[in-house]
Amino acid sequence: ELKVEQNPLFLSMQEGKNYTIYCNYSTTSDRLYWYRQDPGKSLESLFVLLSNGAVKQEGRLMASLDTKARLSTLHITAAVHDLSATYFCAVDTRTWGGSEKLVFGKGTKLTVNP
Amino acid sequence: DAGVIQSPRHEVTEMGQEVTLRCKPISGHNSLFWYRQTMMRGLELLIYFNNNVPIDDSGMPEDRFSAKMPNASFSTLKIQPSEPRDSAVYFCASFPGGTSQETQYFGPGTRLLVL
């Protein structure tokens, strides 16, 4: 059974600081996703990482994937208050036929303080 | 595109009542997923369909839950009878398929409260 672990689960940081969220998973996969969820809202896709060594950046967020280590990171640079949200990683358990079944981590609740 | 559409957005019902949640996926997407989100258990996959066919319903908690996808543009998740522990946010998501750089697109969710 695929397990996905995120840490930390809660992160409080000051504006302007850098930090990294980690996502470890237990079985082989080469597709990993990061989502953002604001309170009371739905999940919004941030990044799709499709291969070992993949790196994607959008604004102050950068995500990477190391399939050999079964590890993805979401790095936050110079945090701002607008980044406060819960961030989920999800790993693809792609089965025969190409259907995309995802297993989600528990999420990291990020609070950026002024 | 309007995105994934779910209805109702909020539902309050009493224990024992039947609840039906509805989802319209993005046109052209061939996979549809139903998730449940609670504080205690996080985001759980209940069931997913590929080309309207249920592929994996191992996440459906018990026989009180059932899901159908009669055509490519509509799916329902039914709870009968409902119980207070079913209170959660239920998300529907759709996926276009293939090996593209696509992801699952989530609907706004249905917030269910069973009293």
pLDDT at position B80 over 60: yes
pLDDT in tens, B19-70: 999 999 999 998 999 999 999 999 999 999 999 999 889 899 889 999 999 9
Q: Does residue A34 sit at the B interface (CB-CB below 8 Å)?
A: no
User: How many angstroms separate the CA of residue A92 from the nearest CA in chain B?
Assistant: 10
Please tell me the predicted confidence (pLDDT) of residue B93: 96
Which chain A residue has its CA at the smallest distance from B52's CA? A99
Q: Does residue B91 sit at the A interface (CB-CB below 8 Å)?
A: yes
pLDDT in tens, A14-72: 999 999 999 999 988 778 999 999 999 999 999 999 878 889 999 999 999 998 999 99
Please tell me the predicted confidence (pLDDT) of residue A96: 44
Q: Does residue B103 sit at the A interface (CB-CB below 8 Å)?
A: yes
User: CA–CA separation, A99 vs A26, rounded Å?
Assistant: 20
Q: Which residues of B touch A99 (CB under 8 A)?
A: 31, 48, 50, 55, 95, 97
Please tell me the predicted confidence (pLDDT) of residue A88: 97
Does the distance separating the beta carbons of B105 and A103 come in below 8 Å?
A: no
Size of interface A-B (CB pairs under 8 A): 52
CB-based contacts of B96: which residues, under 8 Å, 6+ apart? B26, B28, B29, B30, B31, B102
User: How many angstroms separate the CA of residue A54 from the nearest CA in chain B?
Assistant: 12
Structure tokens at B7: 């209805």
The minimal CB distance from A43 to the residues B56, B101, B106 is found for B106
User: CA–CA separation, A110 vs A86, rounded Å?
Assistant: 6
Q: What is the mean pLDDT of chain B?
A: 93
Q: Beta strand pairing status for A102-104 and B42-50? A: unpaired
